[in-house]
A and B are shown apart, each in its own frame.
Chain A
Amino acid sequence: GAVVSQHPSWVICKSGTSVKIECRSLDFQATTMFWYRQFPKQSLMLMATSNEGSKATYEQGVEKDKFLINHASLTLSTLTVTSAHPEDSSFYICSARVAGVFFFGPGTRLTVL
């Protein structure tokens, strides 16, 4: 199957700083990638759809100025959490669709102190 990687796997930062999370498609090209957020023992909530070469589409209630998404190439999408606060602490997961099947990255655990 297709492989989606994320970096870093975990990050701890101070409140007020910005954190960038990378999502890469290793063996395929992805014009669209999806960013999810998962709280402990809860389901995945779609945050935004990342489109290569154009603006991301954000779900209702997701602050686009806080969660900046850039999809500059067919294999890389980045999510930057700007001015992070403790309530942004969560597990962030990216996904891409190949041949009708959705593949997921391993996730990035963000802890904001």
Chain B
Amino acid sequence: AQRVTQPEKLLSVFKGAPVELKCNYSYSGSPELFWYVQYSRQRLQLLLRHISRESIKGFTADLNKGETSFHLKKPFAQEEDSAMYYCALSLNQAGTALIFGKGTTLSVSS
């Protein structure tokens, strides 16, 4: 079955430190991977999509099919990055929903 694993429930770092939020997936087909972010009291919003290969708010993520990973990275964390981050998998089939990991809370303190 398809699955998304985010091993860290909470990641606490200091401002300016590098950040890496881990995400692994299991799917035998050709997946689409996403990172969504949910700031306090706000709706989920797209952060990154693997096929776009762009950097948003300083975050990057590379799809590693060999390791079935899609880790999210940022070289220098900012306090405003504190939020819940969800890695999600789409089966890339019409009409199918996103499958979410359990999420990682990122806490950036000064």
Q: Is A61 an interface residue (CB 8 A)?
A: no
CB distance from B94 to the nearest CB of A (A): 8
Which chain B positions have C-beta within 8 A of A101?
46, 49
Measured in the bound complex, the distance between the Cα atoms of B98 and A95 in whole Å is 9
Which chain B positions have C-beta within 8 A of A104?
36, 43-45
- Mark interface residues in B84-110 (1 if CB within 8 Å of A CB, else 0): 001010100011111111110100000
Measured in the bound complex, the distance between the Cα atoms of B101 and A45 in whole Å is 10
A88-113, CB < 8 A from B:
93, 95, 100-107
Which chain B positions have C-beta within 8 A of A102?
34, 36, 46, 88, 90, 97-98
Q: Is B20 an interface residue (CB 8 A)?
A: no
A-B contact count (CB 8 A): 50
Q: Is B81 an interface residue (CB 8 A)?
A: no
A18-63, CB < 8 A from B:
32, 34, 36, 41-46, 49, 51
Q: A100-B32, A105-B43 are in contact. Are A43 and B97 (CB under 8 A)?
A: no
* A interface, over-half SS: strand
Q: A residues touching B (Cβ–Cβ < 8 Å)?
A: 1, 32, 34, 36, 41-46, 49, 51, 93, 95, 100-107
Q: List 18 A-B contacts (CB under 8 A).
A: A1-B46, A34-B98, A42-B102, A44-B44, A44-B86, A49-B95, A49-B96, A93-B44, A95-B98, A100-B51, A101-B46, A102-B36, A102-B46, A102-B90, A102-B97, A104-B43, A104-B44, A105-B43
A34-B97, A49-B97 known, 10 other contacts, Cβ within 8 Å: A43-B103, A44-B44, A46-B99, A93-B44, A95-B98, A102-B46, A102-B90, A104-B45, A106-B42, A106-B43
- Name the 4 nearest CB pairs between A and B, nearest first: A104-B44, A34-B97, A106-B43, A43-B102
